[in-house]
Amino acid sequence: MKYNEKQFYQSVTEPFEVQEMDNGAKVSLHYMNDEPFFMDNINKTRFSVWSSGDGVNYKIFVEKGDYEITKELFTKDVNAIWMNFLTSIDKMRKKYIFCIMLPMLLVFLGILITISIIFPNKGWILFVALAVIIVASLISSALLSKKMQAENVKAASKVRDYVGVERFKQIIEEQDKYMEKFYDDLQKKYEEEDKIAEEAENLDQIEAEASDKEEKEKSESTEETDSEKEE
């Protein structure tokens, strides 16, 4: 499925690993750190992101430090599980659109035309029909979301079983510690940059005040000299 297309095409890095999947697709792994969208993902707590521009081949962008801890979660077999998951939810979405949403819209249009012909002055009936369609759409959308979440849980369970429950738990704990330190260091970096910027601003202000004072003194000196000449 096409997924996160913008980052797929914005990527400027070469992959550090390319995996040939059994279905002929390619999954390439890229370090996210040198990508133009790095901070966008980090600000959303995304240390790894899947993307696809053609719905067949995928690029995975992962933060370098995070990858060193979680590399066991990016093997070919594990990525195959997640690729199958994305394919599965893509089929669910298409089925939802073509088997539920489009028929609902066609039914609503049919009801709209019928009511407008038979009951031209019964506008409230149209609102009732619209309400029914909206409620049905919300219910079906909620069911779709629930099914997708179930598929996500199923895929995560397969990954956990593949890696090993204890090892998976250890990786997640190490990842949590790394992410916490990452954001602490990032916060310190921002504070240091703000401090440097503030000091630079204060220095500029001091220099400007010193320059103004010097100009004022020169002006006063010139006025005194002119006054003496006149005398």
Quote the pLDDT of residue 198.
75
pLDDT tier, 14 (very low <50, low <70, confident <90, very high otherwise) = very high
Lowest mean pLDDT among 2-11, 78-87, 221-230: 221-230
Q: Tens of pLDDT along 202-220?
A: 676 776 666 666 676 666 5
Q: Helices 165-230 and 123-163 meet at what angle, rounded to 10?
A: 110
What's the chain's length in residues? Answer: 231
This prediction has a pTM of 0.75
Instruction: Give the pLDDT confidence of 49-89 residue by residue, as tens digits.
Output: 999 988 889 999 999 999 999 999 999 999 999 999 998 99
pLDDT of residue 172: 95
pLDDT above 90: residue 170: yes
Closest CA to 25 of 7, 1, 9, 61: 1
195 vs 167: which has the higher pLDDT: 167
Read off the pLDDT band of 119 (50, 70, 90): confident
Q: Cα–Cα distances in Å, from 52 out to 3, 87, 229?
A: 5, 11, 83
Bridge-based pairing state of the strands 48-51 and 58-62: antiparallel
Give dist(CA 110, CA 112) in Å, integer.
Answer: 5
Residue 74, pLDDT score = 97
Instruction: Report the mean per-residue pLDDT for the chain.
Output: 86
The answer for residues whose C-beta is within 8 angstroms of residue 92's C-beta and 6 or more apart is 144, 147, 148, 151
- Cα of 17 vs its chain's centroid, Å: 22
Q: What is the pLDDT of residues 16-51, one digit of tens each?
A: 999 999 989 999 999 999 999 999 999 999 999 999
Does residue 122 carry a pLDDT above 90? Answer: no
How far is the C-alpha of 77 from the C-alpha of 79, rounded, in Å?
A: 5
Q: What is the pLDDT of residue 134?
A: 83
Confidence (pLDDT) at 117? 79
